[in-house]
A and B are shown apart, each in its own frame.
Chain A
Amino acid sequence: MKLDVFDKLKILTDAAKYDVACTSSGVNKRASAGGIGSAASCGICHSFSADGRCISLLKVLMTNVCAYDCQYCVNRRSNDTPRTSFTPRELAELTINFYRRNYIEGLFLSSGVLKDPDYTTERMLEALRILREEYRFSGYIHAKAIPGTNSALIARLGMLADRMSVNIELPSQNSLRLLAPDKSKHSILAPMGYIQNRIQENSKELVQYRSAPKFAPAGQSTQMIIGATPDTDFQILNLTESLYKKYKLKRVFFSAYMPVADNAMLPALNTKPPLLREHRLYQADWLLRYYGFAANELLDQQHQSFNPYIDPKCNWALNHMEFFPVDVNRASYNSLLRVPGIGVLSAKRIITARRTTTLHFAGLKKLGVVLKRAQYFISCGGRQAEGLKFAPKTMLQSLLSDKTLTLYRQNFPEAPAEQMSLFDPPSMVQAQSMQEELRKCLTAPI
Chain B
Amino acid sequence: MPNRSNLIYRYDGSFEGLLCCVFESYDQHEIPLDIFSPASLQTTLLPEKDIRTETAKANRVLASIPQKISPAALDFIKRAFLTCHAQKELYILLFLRMGYRYGASVMNMLTDDVVNTLFTAVKHLDKESHLFKGFIRFSVFNNALVAEIEPKNVVLPFLVRHFRERYPEERFLIYDKTHRMGLIYQPYQATIIPIEELDLPETDENERSFRELWQLFYDTIEIKERHNPKCRMSLMPKRYWKNMTEFGSAEEKPSVSRHGNDAVKSLNFKIAAEEKLLD
Contact = CB atoms under 8 A, between A and B. Distances in A.
A101 B213 contact: no
Given A37-B166, A355-B108, A10 B133 contact: no
Contacts of B230: 52
A102 B147 contact: yes
B168 interface: yes
A17 interface: yes
B244 A17 contact: no
Contacts of B209: 2
Interface string B111-141: 1000010000000000000100111111110
Contacts of A258: 223, 225-226
A35 interface: yes
A49 B228 CA distance: 9
Contact of B111 (A34, A97, A357): A357
Interface string B79-116: 00000000000000000000000100100111100001
B26 interface: no
Interface stretch (A39-47, A233-241, A330-338): A39-47
B85 to A, nearest CB: 15
A410 B105 CA distance: 51
A40 B213 contact: no
Interface in A80-128: 94, 97-98, 100-103, 105
B218 A47 contact: yes
A256 B235 CA distance: 21
Contact of A103 (B105, B137, B225, B228): B137
A246 interface: no
A54 B105 contact: no
B220 interface: yes
A425 to B, nearest CB: 33
Contacts of B220: 9-10, 13-14, 17
Interface stretch (A164-172, A190-198, A359-367, A370-378): A359-367
Contacts of B229: 50, 52
Interface in B144-175: 145, 147, 162, 165-170
A59 B221 contact: yes
Contacts of A214: none
Interface string B232-263: 10011000000011100000000000000000
Contacts of A406: none
A100 B170 contact: yes
Nearest to A43: B134
B222 interface: yes
A33 B168 CA distance: 8
B134 A46 contact: yes
A418 B212 CA distance: 59
A12 B146 CA distance: 29
Given A34-B169, A50-B228, A101-B214, A45 B235 contact: yes
A94 B170 contact: no
A401 to B, nearest CB: 13
A367 B165 CA distance: 34
B162 A98 contact: no
A275 B223 CA distance: 13
A47 B216 contact: no
Contact of A363 (B111, B136, B166, B235): B111
A6 interface: yes
Interface residues on B, range: 35 or more
Given A14-B220, A49-B222, A357-B111, A100 B138 contact: yes
Nearest to A50: B222
Interface in B165-213: 165-170, 209-210, 212-213
A356 interface: yes
B276 interface: no
Interface string A17-58: 110000000000011011111101010111111111111101
A364 B111 CA distance: 7
B246 A367 contact: no
A53 B145 CA distance: 27
B1 interface: no
B226 A51 contact: yes
Given A94-B213, A103-B214, A355-B105, A349 B110 contact: yes
B235 A35 contact: no
A102 B110 contact: no
Contacts of B147: 102
Interface in A254-276: 256, 258, 272-273, 275
Given A355-B105, A363-B111, A5 B217 contact: no
Contacts of A103: 137, 214, 245-246
B232 A105 contact: no
B238 to A, nearest CB: 12
Contact of B216 (A9, A34, A100): A9
A273 B225 contact: yes
A353 B110 contact: yes
Contact of B232 (A17, A51, A367): A51
A367 B110 contact: yes
B162 A273 contact: no
Contacts of A5: 213
A355 B135 CA distance: 38
Interface string A396-418: 00000000000000000000000
Chain B CB within 10 Å — which of A6, A37, A59, A353 has the most? A353
B46 interface: no
Given A103-B214, A273-B225, 16 more contacts: A9-B216, A17-B222, A30-B166, A37-B166, A40-B162, A47-B244, A48-B232, A51-B232, A52-B230, A55-B221, A101-B210, A102-B134, A275-B226, A353-B110, A355-B108, A366-B111
29 contacts: A9-B213, A9-B216, A13-B217, A13-B221, A17-B222, A18-B223, A30-B165, A31-B165, A33-B168, A38-B165, A40-B133, A44-B130, A46-B135, A47-B244, A50-B222, A50-B228, A51-B226, A52-B230, A54-B235, A55-B218, A98-B213, A102-B138, A102-B147, A103-B137, A103-B246, A258-B223, A272-B225, A355-B108, A366-B116
5 smallest CB-CB distances across A and B, nearest first, come from A52-B231, A363-B111, A30-B165, A51-B226, A52-B228
Interface of B: 102, 105, 108-111, 116, 130, 133-140, 145, 147, 162, 165-170, 209-210, 212-214, 216-218, 220-232, 235-236, 244-246
